[in-house]
Amino acid sequence: MDAQTSGINTFPHQPVLYHESLKYLQLESGNHFIDGTLGAGGHAFGILTNTSPHTELLAFDLDKQALAIARDRLKKLTERIIFKHQSYASMKEVVNQLGWGCADGIILDLGISSMQVDHPERGFSFLHEAPLDMRFNQSRGQTAADLLNSMDENEIADIIWKFGDEPRSRRIAKFIVDDRPVETTSQLAGIVQKAYRGYRTKAHPATKTFQAVRIAVNSELEVLKQGLKSALATLCTGGRLAVITFHSLEDRIVKRLFKTEAKDCICPAEQMICTCDHKASIMIITKKPVIPSKEEVERNPRARSAKLRVAEKI
């Protein structure tokens, strides 16, 4: 069945680059698929409605609320879904436990979902008053408040600069330390606005700081590196991995790993004889990242920074 005529318009949430990602996964040729970032279940719905009734889907999410929503929205398909409240970085171990051997296709849709932002109490948005949490998995780990109230000024500045590319990171970090304890979203947003007093910005001045703190709280880049390696180890020969990123740091990690794993030799360029014994394990399908159409960006402004990269196991 063609993904564009699969009835996705009846589903409450359609992910960014939906049609493109399903097309690249070559759904008609597989029996086992993995959605590493289930969210509201949009990709899962598309995969299961475009494959045979015998196809199974392994779905991961750290967010209990997201899992509950997806279970409800996918209730007519749940017999074909294995839900896991854990990180997609563990997919290889789970696939082994299930006895699948390998997966025919894997999709990762990274970053924060609009569903999470739309729940102010989660602490992801600077537009609403809420406890400063930001954890994907609220049952474990440090909250954003814990992190900002325990780190020293230099550590906070480094996080805001490294993960947010925030030019005023040092000043913001100083103001955070001076105003501690920082407990709410509006308090943190106010601190950043104070640090930006007298400076004009196109977006809300707190945008980059909130992004950086969220990435740090959830160790998103470390999880991505582990998850990509686990995904490539999990794929069947001929299986495909599709990754949608929304941040330049994420995209760089995906691009570099794909480039490395598509080479037979990764020795330094100046080395005349190969000693690494590295063999290419993938073929890059998207030589350049796939980006949303103008129409999709107009329909969903969040899509503007999205990039899709796809690789195939060889």
Residues 17 and 111 in one domain: yes
Residues 199 and 227 in one domain: no
Q: What is the pTM of this model?
A: 0.90
Last residue of a domain, one of 217, 241, 272: 217
| pLDDT tens column, 151-193 | 999 999 999 999 999 999 999 999 999 999 999 999 999 999 9
| pLDDT tens column, 24-64 | 999 987 899 999 999 999 999 999 999 999 999 999 999 99
| Token pair 């999205």 in the structure block, residue | 306
Report helix, strand or coil for 312. strand
Residues 111 and 231 in one domain: yes
Q: Which residue has the higher pLDDT, 274 or 252?
A: 252
Domain count for the chain: 2
Residues 180 and 282 in one domain: no
Is 284:261 a contact under the CB 8 Å cutoff? no
DSSP readout, 234-276?
HEEEEEEEEEEESSHHHHHHHHHHHHHHT-S--S-TT-SS--S
Last residue of a domain, one of 217, 251, 279: 217
Q: Which domain holds residue 143?
A: 138-217
Residues 155 and 169 in one domain: yes
- Strand-pair partners of 105: 33, 240
Last residue of a domain, one of 182, 217, 252: 217
Residues 29 and 100 in one domain: yes
Residues 148 and 172 in one domain: yes
Question: Would you call 249 exposed, middle or buried from its count of C-beta atoms within 10 A (0-12, 13-18, 19+)?
Answer: middle
| pLDDT tens column, 218-256 | 999 999 999 999 999 999 999 999 999 999 999 999 999
Determine the Cα–Cα distance for residues 256 and 262; give it in Å rounded to an integer: 10
33 found inside a domain: yes
CATH number, domain with residue 145: 1.10.150.170
Count each helix (H run) and each strand (E run) in the chain, helices first.
13, 7
DSSP readout, 194-248?
HHTTT---SS-TTHHHHHHHHHHHTTHHHHHHHHHHHHHHHEEEEEEEEEEESSH
125 found inside a domain: no
